[in-house]
Structure 1
Amino acid sequence: MTTTALPEGVPDPVEDFLKRRKKATINDVASLARVSKKTVSRVINHSPSVRAETRDQVNAIIARIGFKPDPQARGLAFRRSFLLGLVYDNPNAQYVINIQNGVLDFIRGSGTELVVHPCDKTSPDFIDEIREFVELQRLSGVIVLPPIAENRQLLAALDDLDVPYVRITAMPGEENTPPIVSSQVVSRDRMGCRAAAEHLADLGHRRIGFISGPAGYASARQRRQGFDEGLTARGLTLDSALIVQGEYTFESGYVAGKALLSQSPRPTAIFSSNDEMAVGVYKAAAELGLSVPDDLSVVGYDDAPIAARVTPGLTSVRAPIRDIGRAAADALLAENRKDSTVFDTALIVRESTGPADPSFKP
């Protein structure tokens, strides 16, 4: 910023202010920048109606005197709280944490904060509870995680509240278009799962177990469809006897893994619809004296941090979950909101998959 030098001997009003060690207020910023309080508010709230020169001048004063806007005062002035809500009913704690970290990456330093609100979609008060949460917090926007991101009643309630919201979903195309208009961040789950199926087939596996996600989850449907497509491309199909439903939790993966590996003949490979369940399969295999990948190949989904930390390293479909959270916050706070942001998924091959034992007779 270009500033006009003060004549020699004329005291700098900012230096004089700093000597008084007074807590800076918006009125101080307005006085020192020689603009109105309303102009300072517009600069703080990134209004496009302020000239660049004035904006630079106000921001320079804010930086020099260390002024920190009061979120509560801003909320009263603009009838909103400068809070984003993250609403979810999801048993996968690591997924929620990764989304949350992505949102925090984007809003850090912006004066906007995040409020996390877990809920129970099976509760009879589910919709009313979220409505009350949005109204009490006077949220600036809401990020809705799967599976409730596909709940039509919830979306209608958010529309009725006239609060901006973004849905994170695994459903591209027409299936992902509700009767409500909203921004969405889409993960192409099918793409990565197709690659996972092709990878196992190319390693010679023919008896493959599949642990699905919870019933009613769009991600569970998309991952199953992608896996089926990959097998079909290799001339294979899933045996219905080798399909077990999981709940996206370690415990459900362990139970499903034991059920699959107790069959005779057992599968030589298992695809698990998330990494938490895949690690549960590791435990089930170890208890049965099976080695990964010599006796059993295992593939997960998410490529969560645990995938690279377990031994052997877990082959997993990478979904850029933290980036998805960042994009959701961007979609809410950006001046030019996008209708849809799409992220691809890809298979990350590690040590948990290997060639099928040619001596194994299914």
Structure 2
Amino acid sequence: MGPPMWERTVPFRIEHLWPALSGRGTSPCMAKSDPTSTEPPSETGDTRAPGPPTHLTVAELAGLAGVSGQTIRRFFKDPTLLGTRMRTRVAAVLREIGLAGPQLEREASQASEPALESEQAAAPEREREREPEPEPEPEPCEVPAHAAVKDDAAHTSDAPPSRPPLPEPEAPSPRLPAEDPATDILSATGGMADDGRLTINDIARLASVSTKTVSRYLNDSPLLSDTMRARVRRVIEETGFVPNAQARALALRRNFLLALIHTGDERARVEQVEDGMLAAMAGGEFALLIQPLQGPAGRHPAQLHTFLTRHNPSGVVLLPPLAQDDMIVEACRHAGTPCIRLGPTPDGAGLCSADRAAMAQAVAWLVALGHDRIGLVGGPEGARLAQARELGYLDAMADHGLDRGAALIEPGDNSFASGLAAGRVLLEVSPRPSAIIACNDAMAAGILHAATEARITVPDELSVIGFDDTPLAQMTCPPLTSMQIPWAALGHEAVRRLQANPREIADDAAPPHFGARLIERGSVAPRKGTQEDGRTSLSTT
């Protein structure tokens, strides 16, 4: 096997481009003798001017095509390495100078060694056919791969052999002005991906640094100096370069996907957590997947395992009640996927607010407004979040010496329908409660509807408080007073932890608690016959 195709010179088979290479105004091969001319013939008796070169160097082809030498080498090595536009551009120039036929691109990538050798052997024969007086030609000598034969006459000279001509250096790529380093890469697609997007190699070339330096910048490595960091940042800002997350995921063996897993209930809560997660991801490489686990709870672990295997996210965030399910947590561990749990958990490792203390503060606020008979609509049985809120209610009622009998507590399932049903029951109790707290806003809206049915005016005859402060709280009539649980802040913190180093998340790590805040609207008023100066705002931690 000889040297690779791209290191050899390319046969030249047309004369009209010779002026562009030699700098002359007329092609020597087209300067034939004129029978009417009075100019005497040359001393040698040969009226022909020196012939055109039989070969072109890579640099000469690059100059004709207006591309880099690397692009020419790639074209003859494997045209598929080039973009469609660049491949077509080089092929058009080669067809124009007669180096191949219409199937140039396919032949360039599939040309064999014998084909190239026959082409080189046929070149002298074509030269002899054009000569008016054939002369014997010496055997062609082996030409180094880096040198291009410029004149066949040099091989027929009787003079002693001289040193082979030095290779012509490739034309250097034009350097760009310092103020616009993006011009070169945006004007030619030879170094880009096939779709025209910039790559990390392009940024490294424009910034005159290594690809490793650019990679360290993108990964915010502490090993990168401030000078190098500023240089790479300037090129990225001026070119508008956006890293390819999929390529980085392959290089780092890490998927830039996070998943939010829920049961399909409590859509308002899901949206709040989603907003917080998206705010934390803004401007970064991570993307968010949202996946509900539906059907019976016993099928949830298998559904989650399938999802994690198929999409392989870097981490997941689990919402209640999934956060307290040991089988769900085990499915994440089995898949090797770090998880952050929101809400109360059996081991106390979940990110949550102080729901128990928040409920106790809501009861204390109602007591301060003169309410001494306060009802409660609880959440789903077995849900730790609902249990925490119910315990807070019982704690506060006991602290103030108020009745906390079973008649004042009705179960619910976090739906509007369950709140409506529970409200109807509590409003039939005698003596009737003067205030009712629901464990979420949807059930509180049901209580408002039940009061309207019973012709009980809110807030004059009945005060109602919800929990979570979802958008629904502002849509009821009257607007609903609600205890704001910072679900968005919880989602934001979960993303921060997963982005930092998800593999170092420990289930037994002591998580911070996030404070709740009472949002006062029009559904609460002091009990009739009491002073309004007891009305105060609450903030719990």
| 1:116 to partner: Cα distance | 0.3
The 10-residue stretch of structure 1 (273-282 or 55-64) with the greater mean CA deviation from structure 2: 55-64
| 1:121 to partner: Cα distance | 7.1
**Residue 210 of structure 1 contacts residue 272 of structure 1 at CA under 8 Å; is this kept in 2?**
yes
| 1:82 to partner: Cα distance | 0.4
The 10-residue stretch of structure 1 (40-49 or 26-35) with the greater mean CA deviation from structure 2: 40-49
Aligned counterparts of 1:124 and 1:296: Cα–Cα separation in 2? 41
Q: Within 5 Å, which residues of 2 pair with 1:1-362? A: 11-12=177-178, 13-20=181-188, 22-89=196-263, 91-120=265-294, 122-170=296-344, 175-177=346-348, 184-335=350-501, 339=509, 340-357=511-528
Aligned counterparts of 1:10 and 1:30: Cα–Cα separation in 2? 14
| TM-score, length of structure 1 as denominator length | 0.87
Tell me the equivalent position of 2:535: none
Match of 1:263, SS? coil
Tell me the equivalent position of 1:4: none
Aligned counterparts of 1:259 and 1:162: Cα–Cα separation in 2? 48
Q: Would the alpha carbon gap of residues 303 and 123 (structure 1) be closer, same or farther in structure 2, given more than 3 Å must change?
A: closer
Q: Would the alpha carbon gap of residues 147 and 123 (structure 1) be closer, same or farther in structure 2, given more than 3 Å must change?
A: closer
| 1:326 to partner: Cα distance | 0.9
| 1:237 to partner: Cα distance | 3.4
Listed one character per residue, the Cα deviations across residues 54-96 of structure 1 (whole Å, up to 9, x for unaligned) are: 2332222222111122222222222232000101125211110
Q: Would the alpha carbon gap of residues 73 and 323 (structure 1) be closer, same or farther in structure 2, given more than 3 Å must change?
A: same
**Residue 91 of structure 1 contacts residue 247 of structure 1 at CA under 8 Å; is this kept in 2?**
no
Aligned counterparts of 1:130 and 1:79: Cα–Cα separation in 2? 22
Tell me the equivalent position of 1:3: none
Match of 1:117, SS? strand
Aligned counterparts of 2:370 and 2:282: Cα–Cα separation in 1? 48
The 10-residue stretch of structure 1 (325-334 or 340-349) with the greater mean CA deviation from structure 2: 340-349
Paired AA for residue 316 in structure 1:
S
| 1:189 to partner: Cα distance | 0.5
**Residue 373 of structure 2 contacts residue 402 of structure 2 at CA under 8 Å; is this kept in 1?**
no
The 10-residue stretch of structure 1 (131-140 or 94-103) with the greater mean CA deviation from structure 2: 131-140
**Residue 420 of structure 2 contacts residue 449 of structure 2 at CA under 8 Å; is this kept in 1?**
yes
Q: Would the alpha carbon gap of residues 319 and 10 (structure 1) be closer, same or farther in structure 2, given more than 3 Å must change?
A: closer
| 1:10 to partner: Cα distance | 6.2
**Residue 85 of structure 1 contacts residue 117 of structure 1 at CA under 8 Å; is this kept in 2?**
yes
Aligned counterparts of 2:430 and 2:403: Cα–Cα separation in 1? 19
Match of 1:124, SS? helix
Listed one character per residue, the Cα deviations across residues 322-351 of structure 1 (whole Å, up to 9, x for unaligned) are: 111111111211259694232011323332
Paired AA for residue 427 in structure 2:
L
* Gap runs ≥5 in structure 2: 1-174, 190-195, 531-541
**Residue 194 of structure 1 contacts residue 227 of structure 1 at CA under 8 Å; is this kept in 2?**
yes
| 1:226 to partner: Cα distance | 0.9
The 10-residue stretch of structure 1 (305-314 or 188-197) with the greater mean CA deviation from structure 2: 305-314
Match of 1:299, SS? strand
Aligned counterparts of 2:332 and 2:222: Cα–Cα separation in 1? 27
**Residue 327 of structure 1 contacts residue 341 of structure 1 at CA under 8 Å; is this kept in 2?**
no
Who wins on radius of gyration, i.e. which is larger? 2
The 10-residue stretch of structure 1 (109-118 or 134-143) with the greater mean CA deviation from structure 2: 134-143
RMSD: 2.3
Paired AA for residue 177 in structure 1:
G
The 10-residue stretch of structure 1 (196-205 or 222-231) with the greater mean CA deviation from structure 2: 196-205
Aligned counterparts of 1:241 and 1:326: Cα–Cα separation in 2? 40
| 1:285 to partner: Cα distance | 0.8
Paired AA for residue 213 in structure 2:
T
Q: Would the alpha carbon gap of residues 242 and 310 (structure 1) be closer, same or farther in structure 2, given more than 3 Å must change?
A: same
Match of 1:295, SS? coil
Aligned counterparts of 1:90 and 1:256: Cα–Cα separation in 2? 23
Paired AA for residue 348 in structure 2:
T
Match of 2:492, SS? helix
Aligned counterparts of 2:495 and 2:368: Cα–Cα separation in 1? 39
Tell me the equivalent position of 2:141: none
The 10-residue stretch of structure 1 (243-252 or 32-41) with the greater mean CA deviation from structure 2: 32-41
Q: Would the alpha carbon gap of residues 132 and 10 (structure 1) be closer, same or farther in structure 2, given more than 3 Å must change?
A: closer
Paired AA for residue 513 in structure 2:
V
Q: Would the alpha carbon gap of residues 50 and 138 (structure 1) be closer, same or farther in structure 2, given more than 3 Å must change?
A: farther
Match of 1:160, SS? helix
Q: Which has the higher contact order (CA 8 A, sep 6+)?
A: 1
Aligned counterparts of 1:90 and 1:358: Cα–Cα separation in 2? 44
Percent of aligned pairs sharing the same letter: 36
Paired AA for residue 329 in structure 1:
V
Number of residues paired by the alignment?
A: 343
**Residue 275 of structure 1 contacts residue 306 of structure 1 at CA under 8 Å; is this kept in 2?**
yes
Match of 1:312, SS? coil
Match of 1:104, SS? helix
Q: Would the alpha carbon gap of residues 10 and 62 (structure 1) be closer, same or farther in structure 2, given more than 3 Å must change?
A: closer
**Residue 407 of structure 2 contacts residue 429 of structure 2 at CA under 8 Å; is this kept in 1?**
no
| TM-score, length of structure 2 as denominator length | 0.59
| 1:358 to partner: Cα distance | 5.4
Aligned counterparts of 2:335 and 2:222: Cα–Cα separation in 1? 26
